[in-house]
Structures are given as structure tokens and as C-alpha cells.
Amino acid sequence: MAFRRHKFGSAGIGLMFGFSMCITLFGPSNDFRSGVSTWVGLDKQLSLGRVIGFSYEDPTVSGDGKPITVILNKDPKTGVAIDPPIRAYVYKPGVKFSPGVNHPELLGPGVEDLSMRDGKISSASMSSGAVFTVSKGVFNDEEVDYIENASATRGWTPDKTLRTAGDANSRYVGKGKTIYISEGCWWCHTLLPEQTQDWQMFGQPPFLGDFNGEMPTAFGSDRKAPDILHVASRNSSREWMTMHFFNPRLVQPNSIMPRFDYLWGKQDANGNSIDFAKWRADYSDYLHGKRIYAPEVPEPARDSEVRALIDWILTSLK
Ligand code: HEC
């Protein structure tokens, strides 16, 4: 008898398992393609490029081969002023396009249609490079943001656009987010305010459409430090960020955050080599009351990793 009951039990478990698989496979499900990409989603994927973090295109996770976000106050082709300034995303020849450009169905209804029709994204070519912007249009009486291939619609080339913007208006956002991943900032920080009291402190939780085409999302899970999804809205000081990354204790005396001074590389913005040992000796004197002021933090070089990291924070985490 006991044996028969056992047999019935396994059949029952089989039935339940089969039934639940049927729900999984055939039941109503969330079709991600029906999520309409927001401006945040478009801005994020265009500034990050194809994939961030580990990939065979960037096996050392160094942030190479990423697009550059620029702020344009004049048209790179005609020189006519653009007021207010707009963001453009520059893909030099060979830089891999973001997922939504290659697979417009990821953008969601409306955004996909306008990006294809008015934005001409299907004519963008990876081998010759392209410049994209996010534009506003109307689809079925609703206002939507869509991707515009400005190389096709306005004749902007990557070279000319970078030259027009200049270094002061270039932001290495894609590289910066890669450094967030490779440095493991997500062990302590999250990029996901939750629907609790959390958002009174850290700002609005994201929308579904903020993630169309972002790979990976880097939400983080175990939080040991503030959520930084909107950190640039509470603190937009580049100087503060620079000091805080060189040594967090300069601005937050009891911080447990590690120093990231090695992200400066060997030389500062003026090409002088950075003497880390001397800096730490001076800092120790400061801590022990042997000097009044902490030593100056070196100005990061243009191609330093910390420059990219701060560019990402101040441009994207608003
Ligand atoms: C060991 C945990 C830890 C790691 C790793 C860490 N942080 Fe932090 N971070 C903190 C803590 C704790 C604070 C709050 C105290 C402070 O401001 O230093 C903080 C503060 C910050 C702030 C200011 C937040 C605010 O609300 O004002 C930013 C921005 C930041 N971290 C970015 C980073 C980035 C980028 C990395 C990786 C390069 C990183 N952190 C790595 C623990 C960490």
C-alpha cells in the first residue's frame, strides 16, 4: 500500500511540475518588447554602447571601444548655434552600436517606428562610424523620444562632432560605467532606489523603460553605502568627486569607502608624475596635526580612468 502511494506521489509531482511548466511556457507573460523606452533608456544605451562589463570585445574590462557623449552648443556641420545645448553620442568607426540601434524592436512600439522612419537608424554604419541624438516626435498622438542618426539626417561626422565639442564638452560616460563595474563599486553601492521610504532619501525608482537595451543593468543588491542612481542631483561638484575618489576621508572623515587614487594613473593633467608616497606622507602629517591643510589632490589627466568615472556620475546619475 505504502509503495502504491509512493508511485501516486511521483505521478502527482510530475503532474504539478508539468502544469507549472505549461503556465511558464504558455501563460500570459511580460513581453519586454512592449515596454516603451524612456529618454533615460535611450540616453543610457547610446552613451554606454553595445555592452559594458565583461565581453570578448573588452576582455580586461578597461572601457575601450566605447562611444563618447558630447554636449553641443553649435551644429558641427553648419556652425549654427544650438540653444539650449544638446547631447550627442559619437561612435568612431568600428565602435559597436548600442543594442537598440541594431535591434530596433528593443526600443518598444512608437520609439522603434520613429527611430526607423524619421531617425534613419537603419542606415547607420558601424564601419564608418556615426553620431546619434535623442529627438522628440509624435506617434499616435503621443509624444515619444526616439533615436536620430544625425550622420544621416544632419550630416554630422564623428570627427567633426568631437572637434566641435572639444575636450571641455566631452564626457567619457561609456568608459566610466565600465570602471564602475570593473572596480566593484557595486559591492557597496546600488543603482536602484526601491519603492519604500528609500526614495525620500535617494530619489525616484526607475521606470521599466529606463532599461531597454542596457546590458548589464548593475542594480547591485547588498547595500553597504548610499544608492547612487541620482547622486549627481544631490551633489554635482566635480571637485568634491575628485577629492572623494582620491581619498574619501578628505571630505567624509569616517568613510569606509576605499581610496581610488590609482585611477589617476601615473601622471596628472599637466604631465607631471604623481608622487603617491609623498602625498600619503603629507596626508599622514595632516592627520597627526603636523600641518593645517591636507595636501592638494592632483588634477586628473584627460585620459585617466577617474576622469571617465566622474564624467559618468555627473552626466548619467541625475
Ligand atoms: C567598501 C564599500 C564601498 C566601495 C567599494 C565604494 N564605495 Fe562609494 N561610498 C561608500 C560609503 C560608505 C559612502 C558614504 C560615505 C562617503 O561619502 O564616503 C560612499 C559614498 C560614495 C559617493 C557619494 C554618495 C552620496 O550619496 O553622496 C559616491 C558618488 C560613491 N561613493 C561612488 C563610488 C564609486 C564610483 C565606487 C567605485 C569606484 C565606490 N563608491 C566604491 C562605500 C563604498
Would you list the domain boundaries of the chain? 39-174, 180-316
Q: Is the CB of 309 under 6 A from ligand 1?
A: yes
Separation CA 151–CA 95 (nearest Å): 15
| Assigned fold of 180-316 | Cytochrome Bc1 Complex; Chain D, domain 2 (1.10.760)
Between strands 81-91 and 68-74, the pairing is antiparallel
What digits encode the pLDDT tens for the residues 4-50? 555 667 888 899 999 999 988 887 666 666 789 999 999 999 999 99
Task: Point out the ligand 1 atom lying closest to the alpha carbon of residue 187.
Answer: 5
The candidate with the shortest Cα–Cα distance to 99, out of 47, 58, 146, 49, is 49
Cβ contact 284:149 at 8 Å:
no
Please give the average per-residue pLDDT across 141-148, as a whole number.
96
Residue nearest to atom 26 of ligand 1 (CA): 226
Helices 173-182 and 39-48, axial angle in degrees (round to 10): 80
The DSSP element (H or E) to which 90 belongs, if any, is strand 81-91
Kindly provide the residue ranges of all beta strands, DSSP E only, lying in the chain, ordered along the sequence: 68-74, 81-91, 130-139, 142-149, 170-171
* Nearest atom within ligand 1 for CA of residue 244: 18
Distance (angstroms) between ligand 1 centre and the Cα of 264 equals: 17
Give the pLDDT of residue 6.
Answer: 59
Establish whether residue 177 lines the binding site of ligand 1, counting it when its CB lies within 6 angstroms of any ligand atom.
no
Cα distance between residue 279 and residue 296, in whole Å: 8
Task: Supply the angle between the helices 305-316 and 238-246 in degrees, to the nearest 10.
Answer: 130
Q: What is the mean pLDDT of residues 232-249?
A: 97
Split at pLDDT 50, 70, 90, the class of 59 is confident
pLDDT range class, residue 56, cuts 50, 70, 90:
confident
d(CA 271, CA 48): 28
Ligand 1 centre distance from Cα of residue 255 (Å): 8
* Reported pTM: 0.91
Cβ count within 10 A of residue 195:
8
| Number of Cα atoms under 13 Å in the Cβ half of residue 260 | 20
CA-nearest residue for atom 16, ligand 1, is 255
Which pLDDT tens digit goes with each residue over 82-117? 999 999 999 999 999 999 999 999 999 999 999 999
For residue 308, give the nearest of 64, 134, 105, 117 by alpha carbon. Answer: 64
Ligand 1: centre distance to CA 263 (Å): 15
Give the pLDDT band (50/70/90) at residue 118: very high
Ligand 1 and 252: CB distance under 6 A? yes
Distance 227 CA to ligand 1 centre (A): 9
3-class DSSP assignment, residue 161: helix
Q: Mutate which of 181, 188, 242, 313 to test ligand 1's pocket (most atoms within 8 Å of Cβ)?
A: 188
Candidate of 257, 259, 318 to mutate for ligand 1, largest count of ligand atoms within 8 Å of Cβ: 257
Cα 43 to averaged position of ligand 1 atoms, centre (Å): 24
Supply the pLDDT for residue 37.
95
Residue 228 Cα to ligand 1 middle (Å): 8
Q: Where are the beta strands (DSSP E) in 95-169?
A: 130-139, 142-149
- DSSP type of residue 36: P
- Average pLDDT on 59-71 reads 93
Per the CB < 8 A criterion, the answer to whether 268 and 299 are in contact is yes
